[in-house]
A and B are shown apart, each in its own frame.
Chain A
Amino acid sequence: MSEVLVLVDEVDGEVKKVTFELLTAAREIGEPAAVVVAAPGTAAKVRESLAAYGAAKVYVAESDDVANYLLTPAVDVLAALVAAKSPAAVLISATADGKEIAGRLAVRTDSGLLIEAIGLENAGGDVVGVQSIFGGAFTVKAKTNRGTPIVTVRPGGVDAVEAAGAAAEETVEVPSVEAARATAITGREPIVGGDRPELTEASIVVSGGRGVGSAEKFEVVEKLADALGAAVGASRAAVDSGYYPAQFQVGQTGKTVSPQLYVALGISGAIQHRAGMQTSKTIVAVNKDAEAPIFEIADFGVVGDLFAVAPQLTDEVAKRKG
């Protein structure tokens, strides 16, 4: 069975959930081989969790350059592996960094690029990517026509399933950086994440819209989110009104999420917003306006005041969790 390269997404040796989703998707089309392009010492920290999700191999490409140059070290390593190992496909998470790495790799290897897949299929030897486009209005199946299929996979698109893998390590060289064409990283200010899960990685998302009314009142959204262990999102109307920061915006011009449960509080459900959340497995909506379009796609809707309904739900959830 041919190898499927999976670029590992990690922060300080902690593997992101999306990597496990990629390893799961890779098993549909071949044998997953994890690629760790990171600072020295990282592979030792991540190997065990990669093995738990079926990585048969772990390619270890460690160098200080990885932290000092933007993205190109990962492109260089993957391009070398594509040439040396002729993998069935290369899977990369559809994050800001991942999309750019994938795009450059497709150019470098003259390969077809499938973007934001939510699943992979093996169709008679062809790797077929399943994509949900225009905010879930269409499901598209596509394949590549030349080179090695390079696929970015949307976080949350595939459910991660554990499977034992040997995770046999093989060291790979990080090619030296060509300074004139590379971009140096001179500093980093990572977002200090609170206790809440990341929006695109969360299995539950609670979002607030214009109906929340002010930045202060967003607390009611946050309290429900915290009771559920959920991420907090916001509609464009809420962000534009200054109720909540832009990085939490869900919708066509914000993030696309597909959690197990999406709770929409005071969100009317304009196409713009639905585009970012209508692939959620279950949608619950609370809105004062019985005519709000969000109810057309909600599995369970309550017509009422979110400031009465949400706190009650928060209490019920807290009670249940004891």
Chain B
Amino acid sequence: MPNIVVLVKQVPDTYSERRLADADHTLDRESADAVLDEINERAVEEALLIKEAQGGEVTVLSVGPQRATEAIRKALSMGADKAVHVSDPALHGSCLLQTTKVLAAAIGKVDGVDLVIAGNEATDGRGGAVPAMLAEVLGFPQLTHARKVAIDGTTITVTRETDTGLTHLSATLPAVVSVGEKINEPRYPSFKGIMAAKKKPVETYTVADLGIDAGEVGLAAASTTVLEATPKPPRSAGQRVEDGGDGGAKIAEYLIGQKLI
């Protein structure tokens, strides 16, 4: 009966324009439409599949501004049991290390965690490293970029898929898993699920509630500092020709002129 924590994160929609706030070079989260990161929905789905097969409980965990409640509600309406939301203005501008530390502390608030499941890459920061970093902090084995997960007693096996191919992994619970695009197809919340989600408990914590000093997180104490951010001058359009039967030859001519072929 694994006790599962799923990490979810609200990110700006990749189809809308994203900007950095002028004042402090942090992501301007207000300027873009926010969606539940699609990979997070797969993480939630995988947790629900394990629960349906083996029992246990699924807790959703999100660290982020008030807006993250939308992502949490979505996960609860899919079928997660409860949620933990860490929301604190002090977190603004936190680096990957600080975020990881906060996540680890929040996971510590859930009793007897057997499995932590996350998406393999958030589409805003593209760090791709948070699940591995979390495993390092928690001292759990990491089974990341999973396309298949199986649990038998305290043994977890995962098929890891990256650019280089498949790797078969095995470890002992508790463990951290990150799921890839091919793991499953997330379910749509049912009407009943949406109604039930409204009654599910969401515990809200500040960083102080997690035993972390507010001075340790946020932009001022971050392990990295952005010195400058320059919007790239938009690429200007170059030559454009109508194909008059010689389009391919014209490209070849251009490439030869540029010494590219």
Whether the pair A315, B248 counts as a contact (CB closer than 8 A) is: yes
Could you tell me how many residues of chain B have their Cβ less than 8 Å away from some Cβ of chain A? 82
Q: Secondary structure at chain B's binding surface: helix, strand, loop or mixed?
A: mixed
CA distance A82 to B261 in the complex (A): 44
Minimum CB–CB distance from A129 to chain B (whole Å) comes to 9
Binds B, one of A21-29, A143-151, A157-165: A143-151
Q: Which of A115-138 contact B (CB under 8 A)?
A: 115-116, 128, 132, 134, 136-138
Is B105 part of the binding interface, using a Cβ–Cβ cutoff of 8 Å? no
Beyond A70-B142, A103-B133, A286-B243, 18 additional pairs, beta carbon < 8 A: A103-B96, A115-B96, A115-B125, A140-B20, A181-B139, A185-B169, A190-B166, A246-B182, A253-B14, A253-B123, A271-B14, A271-B16, A290-B242, A297-B234, A299-B239, A300-B240, A304-B242, A320-B252
CA distance A138 to B21 in the complex (A): 12
Is A252 part of the binding interface, using a Cβ–Cβ cutoff of 8 Å? yes
Minimum CB–CB distance from A196 to chain B (whole Å) comes to 13
CA distance A97 to B157 in the complex (A): 18
Could you tell me how many residues of chain A have their Cβ less than 8 Å away from some Cβ of chain B? 94
**Which residue of chain B has the shortest Cβ distance to A101 in the bound complex?**
B132
Q: Which of B93-139 contact A (CB under 8 A)?
A: 95-97, 100, 123, 125-133, 135-137, 139
Chain B residues near A115 (CB-CB < 8 A)? 96, 125-127, 129
Is A302 part of the binding interface, using a Cβ–Cβ cutoff of 8 Å? yes
Chain B residues near A103 (CB-CB < 8 A)? 96, 100, 127, 129-130, 132-133, 136
Chain B residues near A185 (CB-CB < 8 A)? 167-169
Is B170 part of the binding interface, using a Cβ–Cβ cutoff of 8 Å? yes
CA distance A244 to B172 in the complex (A): 37
CA distance A315 to B261 in the complex (A): 13
A186, A301, A304, A321: the one contacting B168 at CB < 8 Å is A186
Whether the pair A96, B123 counts as a contact (CB closer than 8 A) is: no
Is A42 part of the binding interface, using a Cβ–Cβ cutoff of 8 Å? no
Whether the pair A70, B223 counts as a contact (CB closer than 8 A) is: no
Chain A residues near B23 (CB-CB < 8 A)? none
**Which residue of chain B has the shortest Cβ distance to A179 in the bound complex?**
B172
**Which residue of chain A has the shortest Cβ distance to B120 in the bound complex?**
A96
Whether the pair A96, B145 counts as a contact (CB closer than 8 A) is: yes
Whether the pair A107, B260 counts as a contact (CB closer than 8 A) is: no
CA distance A284 to B73 in the complex (A): 44
Whether the pair A106, B133 counts as a contact (CB closer than 8 A) is: yes
Is B203 part of the binding interface, using a Cβ–Cβ cutoff of 8 Å? no
Give the top 7 A-B pairs by smallest Cβ distance, nearest first.
Answer: A304-B243, A312-B248, A103-B129, A316-B252, A100-B132, A313-B248, A112-B223
Minimum CB–CB distance from B68 to chain A (whole Å) comes to 20
Given contacts A186-B170, A297-B235, contact A95 B141 (CB under 8 A): no
Q: Which of B208-239 contact A (CB under 8 A)?
A: 222-232, 234-235, 237-239
Chain B residues near A198 (CB-CB < 8 A)? 163
**Which residue of chain A has the shortest Cβ distance to B25 in the bound complex?**
A140
Minimum CB–CB distance from B237 to chain A (whole Å) comes to 5
**Which residue of chain A has the shortest Cβ distance to B162 in the bound complex?**
A96
Chain A residues proximal to chain B, CB less than 8 Å: 11, 70-71, 75, 95-97, 99-104, 106-108, 110-116, 128, 132, 134, 136-147, 180-191, 198-200, 204, 228, 246-247, 252-253, 260-261, 270-272, 275, 278, 282-284, 286, 290, 295-305, 308-317, 320-321
Chain A residues near B16 (CB-CB < 8 A)? 271
Of A114, A134, A298, the most chain B CB neighbours within 10 A belong to A134
Whether the pair B15, A270 counts as a contact (CB closer than 8 A) is: yes
Minimum CB–CB distance from A19 to chain B (whole Å) comes to 15
**Which residue of chain B has the shortest Cβ distance to A255 in the bound complex?**
B163
CA distance A180 to B172 in the complex (A): 7
CA distance A137 to B228 in the complex (A): 14
Whether the pair A70, B163 counts as a contact (CB closer than 8 A) is: no
